[in-house]
Chain A
Amino acid sequence: MPALTIDNRKIEVPAGTNLLEAARLAGIKIPSLCYLKNVQAIGSCRVCLVEVKGAKTLMPSCVTVAADGMEVQTNSARARKARRTILELILSDHEGDCQTCDRSADCELQAIASDLGIRQITFAGAKSRRMTDASTPALVRDTAKCVSCRRCVTVCGETQGVGAIFPQGRGFKAMIGPAFAQPLSEVVCVQCGQCAAVCPVGAISERDEIARVWEALDDPKKTVVVQTAPAIRAALGECFGYPAGTLVTGKMVTALRQMGFDRVFDTNFTADLTIMEEGTELLTRLKGALVEKKPVALPLFTSCSPGWIRYAEHFWPDILPNISTCKSPQQMFGAVAKTYFAEKIEKRAEDIFVVSVMPCTAKKYESQRPEMYASGERDVDVVLTTRELGRMIKQSGLDFPSLPDGAMDSILGASSGAADIFANTGGVMEAALRTVYEIVTGRPLPFENLHVAPIAGLKGIKEAAVKIEGTVSDWSFLEGVTVKVAVAHGLGNARQLIERIKAGEQYHFVEVMTCPGGCIGGGGQPRLTTDEVRAARIAAIYKEDEGKQIRKSHNNPEVQAIYAQYLHKPLGEKSHHLLHTKYVARERV
């Protein structure tokens, strides 16, 4: 435990702690822009400079490791002046249209400038290269606002292992973006939006589609339905000042209803539906392999996460047959809303307008894929991120905290606790195991409180083995089989897991979620998602699950109803048409 002095205060910190974290432990907040704990410490923005006794120049506290006997001044005249100048320089090259920027009041740069009390920019001058890239359905990049902190580069290249954007050019002309200044649409970008999630300013954001929703709501001919993904309810509150991990399901439903949506439905419903289809698919493949001895693509990979799908299409085309053909819950919802629900209310598909609220930017892209027109129309018309929904609620003038709790509408609104946990890493797998195990053995999953502990938490790659004993007659071929499952979140981890599988590691079922932490850490969630925030949101989700009467997807009465009345059986012909899809190998540019 190195002991050092920070601003004349003695403090002991764990070995390896950088000065920025050490100062935080001492109750001193050093401003910083490029640093992102557990993601990036590269000392590039120079905002966090401090004076270290004996050092020739000021030292970036984010990359300087605390050492025994170090004497650090975080607020000396020299450090203050340098910090101000650095910030003024950044501001001098920044667009500065704060009032109309979607990060207004939610911008790290603005906050630091405000904290430091910067009222004028001493060194004004020319602005560097300006370029707006709105080539993808999900994201809009505006280099005029970029501060070159490189968080996006690190997240894209290292956390996600995608590498769609990196520094280009030199000097003042250096900018962050795809190679050769191409648009994002032309490179391997999977549109996961993790870049937008870590951007401290408004340089990368989701494509804002609130206006299209208002337009639909204002159109009397449309029946506008909304679905909200499980991860929203644990994060939306943050847009209104609630601490991370506050569940606001009821207020959210009320808000949506007040804003004029004709039905407030739940993506959880189709999450349960997904378990029915995907669980059956897994069992079918296992049967093919074990009984029929057919060459079957195993392990089976989950398919809920559109960023993961696009990543696999670009980087691992040979494993596409292993990916479940199930559409994501969002797309399943769109398909049944414009068919099953439309029939129920005696409307045509084109009269239904489906809005989904997702923690995800890739969902915007997914909804536009050509495979997603099962109803004859585009199944999901508009995808809003959690952040957009937050803004839309503010636009509608609702005082969110004072709203009463509401409940989801039927017939696409009921859900099990298993659906809730789709929001976090390990959740889809756990939900599937809850159902599959019970189908195969007739007994509940033998884990405490139904939670498969080995695959919970924020570890990058997790695995579990479940031995199947006491099968019911249909599934006796699984007697004694140990089902091995693995879970990866963050595409960088997914890559490692795939490489492991290619090297011979055997699993039956693999869950991949694009974003670190799963959907609760999605690219469309309120900023800034740190590991602490992830843990808090996950805890809320588990709470939601545990509070549910029904904890298993196959017990959802509305799911049972749709099979009874409409789909007839999992993997049946109607399911095949509405709920399943196919994938395309793509170039790796």
Chain B
Amino acid sequence: MKTTRMHLLMCFGTGCVSSGAEKVRDSLLKELAARELTDAVSIEDMHEARAAGEVAVVQTGCNGFCACGPIMVVYPGGFFYQKLTPEDMPELVEEHVLKGRPVERLMFRHPVTQAVIPHYADIPFFARQNLRVLHNKGRISALSIEEYIGRGGYIATAKALLEMSPQTIIDEVKKSGLRGRGGAGFPTGMKWDFASRSKSEVKYFLCNADEGDPGAFMDRSVLESDPHAVIEGMIIGARAIGAHQGYIYCRAEYPLAIERLTLALGQCRERGLLGKDILGTGFDYDLEIAHGSGAFVCGEETALMRSIEGKRGEPRPRPPFPSDAGLWDKPTVLNNVETLANVPLIIANGAQWFRSVGTEKSPGTKIFALTGKVNNVGLVEVNMGVQLGEIIYDVGGGIPGGKKFKAVQMGGPSGGCIPKEHLNVPVEYESLTQLGAIMGSGGMIVMDEDSCMVDMARFFLEFTQDESCGKCTPCRIGTRRMLEILDRICAGKGEEGDIERLIDLGKTIQDTALCGLGQNAPNPILSNIRYFREEFEEHIRDKKCRAGVCAELVRAPCQNACPAGVDVPGFVSLTGEKRYNEALKLHRERNPFVGVCARVCFHPCEGKCRRSTLDEPLSVRAVKRFLYDQEKTPQLPDSIADGKNGKRKIAIVGAGPAGLSCAYFLARLGYKPTVFESESKPGGMLRQAIPAYRLPREILDREIDMIAGTGVTIKTKKKLGTDFTLPGLKEQGYEAVFIGVGAPQGLSLGMKGEDGQGVVDALGFLKEYNLTGKAKVGEKVVVIGGGNAAVDAARTALRLGAESSTVVYRRTKAEMPAFAEEVEEAEREGVKFEFLAAPLELVRKGEKLTSVKFRTMDLGDFDRTGRRKPVAKGENDFILEADMVVAAIGQKLVPSALFDGMAPKQNEREYLSADPVTGQTSVDWVFAGGDAVSGPSSVVEAIAAGERAAAGIDAYLSGEAHAHWRTYRQSDAFFDPDADPIMGERPTVKLIPVAKRKGSFAEVELTLPCATALAESKRCLRCDYREKGAN
């Protein structure tokens, strides 16, 4: 007999097979045979999915880490190889199998540190899991009862039948606290107890293998990889309640599961584990597979039983409960696959062992199918009570593509979502229910910023509505009416009151439907409204889908993503045809600041660019920069001259992006507004906070002059509250005012001695330099914060001659709110970064600041924004020398200094409260927008707010809507919808060398060469294009 010295376990789950496991296996066998390491077998000969010899190749069920397939685990050692190709096999066999030198190249790497993790058990995806139910997954062949027995299988059956009475079995399961894993979480032992007390000659013990939630595949995986575990659970359960016949109700969509179950049942009968006189104990129990045809409602127990009886699968009212009258009106227990797979473990190891993990009320582990926008898609088994965030970030590896996590949907069509503010929730039955979600059967769909919560709600309701049996009114008609409301909201036809109607009807359906399917159908909708009501409101009120999903609200995802609504495909395609003036005018229809935004916009358009699914997103900002550079004289779109409007007096307070935009759009309607600016020069934050190396002053001046040229008067050094007041404006005959004063006050560190020498706030520091051309700077500068102001301050300090400039941030680089490209340039310019540190103390020698003491932080629980909170890591402190500390930890508005007796209402964050559509405040003639309303935000958000207020003011004064620029006109630039996309790489924008930046405030970024810019504009997929006549 040959000795097998090495086992190569290849995953043959559905995921790995679809990513090419079969070809890898073929190549592997060829290589092994060539080296005489295994019997030369052809693939067809591979008996029971195994090639034996000195080296054995075993095809296992799903390994679980589907994202890394094809996967192979090598024993001894437990080496984990991932993403294998047939071409990798010669090296792997030669090096590892033959010479014993594991191949690093094919191993898993830590997503952040990039360190190689050779062993299966050390990979975070596995390390945080606790494989109990799945302990055989990827380890044994699902086709072999010997391998199952070899891993301890059927010991529990023997124990239960030979050593335990039915009541002691029930007591043990009761003590274990096992709860139904199908979703409802009913105590399994209690269910068995009820059925065992029911007096009847005939009883049934059934398994629900009719897994139907979209995205859930736990049960299928267990059935396919370890069918005997389920059968064993059923034998024990049947013994406990006194059943002699059972059925496994499995949907026909799971042919592999049915095939393997059938094989396993045969093996059991052959060995006396099923049928008459099991193990010689006199106990009879036999099992059949009942094929379901995939009706979701047949997962409901009474419907499932009707279906086994050969009738239409419809639920009936309960009571009577199945434990009294179930299948053919006999006492019946129905348990889910995962529940049953837990039973042998409890019997073999005892209730205490089972309770050793999990929580008091939810002991044990739970399997989840982790899918959606998460890096490590796959099947995971974790202890109950684990934090939700741990599953998503540690096991799941976080969100791909740097996108923001939005919510996780649990429990499928009967469940709900859990948003980022609740990532700390322990995963157990009660805590999830409290948040409006449910444990469900284990479907866990991760959603990021690109998921529309309205559409998601609609998706699930469409599913339940289709799957409703149609028996009871609320489910048949009620869910349909809800779906109709959601349909119209998604189509931009939502009406005021629709949200209330959904809640009202949803709650009634929960209270009135006949079965669980109907009662839970409204859950995803109510849950999404609970946490994402504003997305619903945006769809209804603004006809906007921020995620860019709802087709009828989104012409092109880039335009949809732009807060100002700039027609991106329009100006890009015109640029591509060198129709620069038309392109500039088109851009300025919605946003006057082409030059400014070409430099400083954080370009949300690119984040939604569909081109990224093909290669990389279009470089919209680079094209815009090129376009602006082609402008000879300012290009302005059409305005309406209106003599009557020109005579009305409108005041705008603050010449920042919001105020100037508001003035610009008012001017385009014929008004002649006056802008009051407190500083010596207009521009607001654009001038005061953004350094010239990012936004050259002449560009800014040119665009402000352009706006002034449209009939806008700008008065500087006029400060609200000091030089003029709102009542004063009223007296002077101003009919409307727009407040766009920003949030100019820096937040203080809240540390002792921060009022002393050497401590400044970032805004003050930047403003001083930007307005006066000079500012005092220390030698050793420490900037505290992680936003753009921190990075700008650090880079400015270096330019002004600081010896060193260090940014200290309490979280990690990944959490920094600053633009990644700015952080990167700062590093190249010599700015140092310290992460995970929070200031503790300012150290002074006398008055003079000498250093700052920091405490090392760690990331702990999740906060309301879904980021991990920094928490002190012991008392691991360190000191940074510093003679200047710049605080860049946030900004605020101090309204008390501005208003006297006529202050508009503020919101809970102490910013001004304004109507999201019109910008109107609680004082009807006063409008507001920009940072003063939203808190510190982006330039383009401020521009958009200015535009909205302009339309709002016009509507307030005239009673009509005249915002003609809002009418969409499709670009007439050439586009061939049938042509293949034009290929090409996203260009890299050239920068001036780092050496030349020292001491200089010259612009860092260069413009694209003409040919490159034109080629880039042709990469646009023209999502805006519609066939003539189509919408």
Contacts and interface: CB of A to CB of B under 8 A. Distances in A.
B470 A46 contact: no
Given A82-B508, A82-B511, A85-B505, A170 B477 contact: no
Contact of B512 (A49, A122, A166): A49
B470 A57 contact: no
A43 interface: yes
A164 to B, nearest CB: 15
Nearest to B505: A123
Interface in B478-497: 478-481, 484
Contact of B466 (A60, A125, A167, A170): A170
A277 to B, nearest CB: 44
B512 A46 contact: yes
A89 B478 contact: yes
Contacts of A90: 473, 477
A141 to B, nearest CB: 17
Contact of B316 (A42, A93, A172, A173): A42
A172 B512 contact: no
Contacts, number: 108
A126 interface: yes
Given A82-B512, A125-B484, A89 B474 contact: yes
B317 A148 contact: no
B468 A170 contact: yes
A57 B466 contact: no
Given A57-B512, A78-B511, A123-B501, A43 B317 contact: yes
Contacts of A89: 473-474, 477-478, 481
A171 B473 contact: no
Interface in B434-473: 465-473
Interface hub of A42, A167, A171 (most chain B Cβ within 10 A): A171
B510 interface: yes
Contact of A86 (B297, B317, B470, B474): B474
Contacts of A65: 319
B476 interface: yes
A110 interface: no
Interface hub of A60, A122, A172 (most chain B Cβ within 10 A): A172
B470 A126 contact: no
Nearest to B314: A167
B749 to A, nearest CB: 52
Interface in A56-96: 57-58, 60, 63-65, 78, 81-82, 85-86, 89-90, 92-93
Interface string A172-208: 1111000000000000000000000000000000000
A39 B508 CA distance: 28
B481 A125 contact: yes
Contacts of A57: 510-513, 519
Interface residues of A, number: 37
A368 interface: no
B90 to A, nearest CB: 54
B932 interface: no
Contacts of B481: 89, 92, 123, 125
A92 B316 CA distance: 25
A581 interface: no
B368 to A, nearest CB: 26
A132 B470 CA distance: 20
Interface in A126-175: 126, 148, 150, 166-167, 169-175
B472 A45 contact: yes
Contact of A172 (B314, B465, B511): B465
Given A43-B317, A46-B514, A125-B484, A174 B474 contact: no
A44 interface: yes
A126 B512 contact: no
Contacts of B319: 65
A170 B296 CA distance: 11
B929 to A, nearest CB: 37
Interface residues of B, number: 33
B512 A86 contact: yes
B514 A172 contact: no
B295 interface: yes
A241 B478 CA distance: 37
B151 interface: no
Interface string A520-555: 000000000000000000000000000000000000
Contacts of B966: none
B312 interface: yes
A46 B316 contact: no
Contacts of A166: 312
A171 B470 CA distance: 5
Given A46-B514, A122-B501, A171 B474 contact: no
A513 B317 CA distance: 33
Contacts of B513: 46, 57
A92 B477 contact: yes
Contact of B317 (A42, A82, A93, A171): A42
Nearest to B320: A65
A464 B484 CA distance: 61
B480 A125 contact: yes
Interface hub of A45, A49, A64, A125 (most chain B Cβ within 10 A): A125
A126 B480 contact: yes
A63 B508 contact: no
Nearest to B295: A170
A47 B508 CA distance: 12
Contact of A174 (B476, B505, B510): B476
A174 B312 contact: no
Contacts of B470: 148, 167, 169-175
B473 A45 contact: yes
A201 B636 CA distance: 67
Contacts of A93: 477
A82 to B, nearest CB: 5
A170 B467 contact: yes
Nearest to A87: B473
Contacts of B316: 42-43
A46 B479 CA distance: 14
Contacts of A86: 473-474, 508, 512
Contacts of A123: 478, 481, 501, 505
Nearest to A172: B480
Contacts of B469: 167, 170, 174
A42 B306 CA distance: 14
Nearest to A83: B512
Interface string B162-188: 000000000000000000000000000
A47 B481 CA distance: 18
A388 to B, nearest CB: 31
A169 B465 CA distance: 12
B472 A43 contact: yes
Contacts of B501: 122-123
A60 B315 CA distance: 14
A20 to B, nearest CB: 13
A60 B474 contact: no
Given A60-B317, A85-B505, A86-B474, A171 B480 contact: yes
Nearest to A33: B473
A552 to B, nearest CB: 48
A125 B485 CA distance: 9
A63 B501 CA distance: 30
A422 B15 CA distance: 72
B57 to A, nearest CB: 45
B802 to A, nearest CB: 67
19 contacts: A43-B317, A43-B514, A45-B473, A46-B512, A57-B512, A58-B511, A65-B319, A82-B508, A89-B477, A89-B481, A90-B473, A123-B478, A123-B481, A123-B505, A125-B481, A148-B471, A150-B471, A167-B470, A170-B297
**Minimum-distance CB pairs A-B, first 10:** A174-B470, A123-B481, A172-B480, A43-B317, A89-B477, A171-B468, A125-B484, A63-B317, A85-B508, A44-B471
Given A90-B473, A167-B470, A171-B480, 16 more contacts: A43-B316, A46-B472, A46-B473, A47-B473, A57-B512, A82-B512, A85-B508, A89-B474, A150-B471, A167-B469, A170-B297, A170-B468, A171-B468, A172-B468, A172-B477, A174-B469
